[in-house]
């Protein structure tokens, strides 16, 4: 992992996109999060499985982290994605913020191009994941 992290620059953290089995393994996740913490990086838990241990480990270490609230396009259909964006808005109104993730599918991009300007007009603000991570952790 250290080799992969050292090959890139300009990033503030990493997230898991796949690896549900891995993200349930406390020992494995501790190794990953310890490396991120040592580098001053944040962890975004994609919550690919409900029993992920990423967030609790990150919280104990007091490192910056965030967890996905809504997966936009587990079904790559416009109507589904639009519905998920309504969920994003609901979560943001209830909690003060929401983290949504998705794929670069054509359908997702098309829906987001229409939704983003209207969301801004309705008072939603878009911030870097590092801002949300700072809100979530006790760092």
In order of their start, the domains of the chain are: 2-136 (3.20.20.370)
The pLDDT score that the predictor gives to residue 17 is 81
pLDDT range class, residue 2, cuts 50, 70, 90: confident
> How big is the chain, counted in residues?
139
Count other C-beta atoms under 10 Å from residue 55's C-beta.
20
Classify 31 as helix, strand or coil. helix
The pLDDT score that the predictor gives to residue 138 is 65
The contacts of residue 100 (CB under 8 Å, 6+ apart) are: 68, 69, 70, 71, 72, 84, 85, 88
The answer to whether residues 124 and 100 touch, using CB atoms and an 8 Å cutoff, is: no
Q: In angstroms, what is the C-alpha Rg of the chain?
A: 16
The pLDDT score that the predictor gives to residue 14 is 94
Would the pTM of this model clear 0.75, i.e. be above it?
yes
The answer to whether residues 26 and 53 touch, using CB atoms and an 8 Å cutoff, is: yes
Dist. CA 20–CA 90, nearest whole Å = 26
Query: Is a pLDDT exceeding 70 seen at residue 9?
Result: yes
The pLDDT score that the predictor gives to residue 1 is 81
Share of the chain above pLDDT 70, in %: 99
Q: What is the pLDDT of residues 35-79, one digit of tens each?
A: 999 999 999 999 988 899 998 999 888 899 999 999 999 999 999
pLDDT range class, residue 19, cuts 50, 70, 90: confident
Count other C-beta atoms under 10 Å from residue 89's C-beta.
17
């Amino acid at each position: 992992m250290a080799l992969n992290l050292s090959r890139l620059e300009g990033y503030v953290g990493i997230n898991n996109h796949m690896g549900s089995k891995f993200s349930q393994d406390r020992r494995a996740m501790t190794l990953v999060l310890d490396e991120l913490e040592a580098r001053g990086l944040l962890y975004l838990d994609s919550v690919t499985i409900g029993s992920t241990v990423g967030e609790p480990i990150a919280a104990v270490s007091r490192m910056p982290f965030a967890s996905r609230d809504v997966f936009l396009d587990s079904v790559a259909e416009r109507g589904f994605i639009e519905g998920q964006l309504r969920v994003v808005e609901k979560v943001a109104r209830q909690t003060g913020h929401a983290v949504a993730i998705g794929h670069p599918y054509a359908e997702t991009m098309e829906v987001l191009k229409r939704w983003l300007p209207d969301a801004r007009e309705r008072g939603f603000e878009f911030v870097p994941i590092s801002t949300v991570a700072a809100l979530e952790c006790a760092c």
